[in-house]
Amino acid sequence: MTEPEAPSATGVRRRRAKRGEGARLREELLAAARQLLDERGESAVTVRAVAQRVGVSTPAVYLHFASRTELLHGVCRGVWDRLDAYMAEAAAAAEDPFEELRRRCAAYIRFGLDHPLHYGLVAAGPATEATAQVADACFRELHGAVRRCLDASLLEGDGIALTRAVCACLHGAVSLLLLQSPAVWPRDLERYAEDVAAVACAGARHHADLH
């Protein structure tokens, strides 16, 4: 099936998609949604606005996303993919599982502060299926890092409980700043991320020492 053709926001018509190009159009729609989110916030991400940005008709969007909510689902999943890759890259040079956990924690905070609108959509947006999936995926990744610490006897205790505590520290550190004007944020956000990550991991280790 080919996509309906429509003028873009600049009046330029986008050529009809050929058979098999639907996946490419879907990615273009998601990219447009991310751009609108960055530029004007969640309320600007509408099916009509995304269609105009890409240069297709509104019905063409509905061939890929049944609703605005489903479109936002796709953006949420994409945010997690980027966060997952960011944490994995940060942890790649870690020399032991505890250092890996600390690096992942710092990367989580940096990502949230570097992408406040995206993070807010995932963490504080509507309680949608996609948001829950993103949260579950993030928890699994951090839980895996905690489990590796437990396996190496660098931590002790219940892996789920420890991961919940770590996640609470990370989300709280990001949310605390996002609720305030950037004008009052710490000047050195890298140091802020490293400090909170160190405290979160030290707290997990202290929990082990208490047991």
pLDDT in tens, the chain (211 residues): 444 444 444 344 445 545 456 689 999 999 999 999 888 888 899 999 999 999 999 999 999 999 998 898 888 888 888 888 999 999 999 999 999 999 999 999 999 999 888 888 877 665 466 667 777 888 899 999 999 999 999 999 999 999 999 999 999 999 999 999 999 999 999 999 999 999 999 988 776 554 4
What values do phi and psi take at 142, rounded to 5? -70, -35
* SS3 assignment, position 151: helix
Using the structure block, give the residue that is written with the tokens 């905070």. Answer: 109
CA distance 211 to 204: 11
Assigned token pair, 140: 């699994």
Query: Which helix (H) or strand (E) element contains residue 154?
Result: none
pTM given for the model? 0.80
Please give the helix or strand (H or E) that residue 16 lies within, else none. none
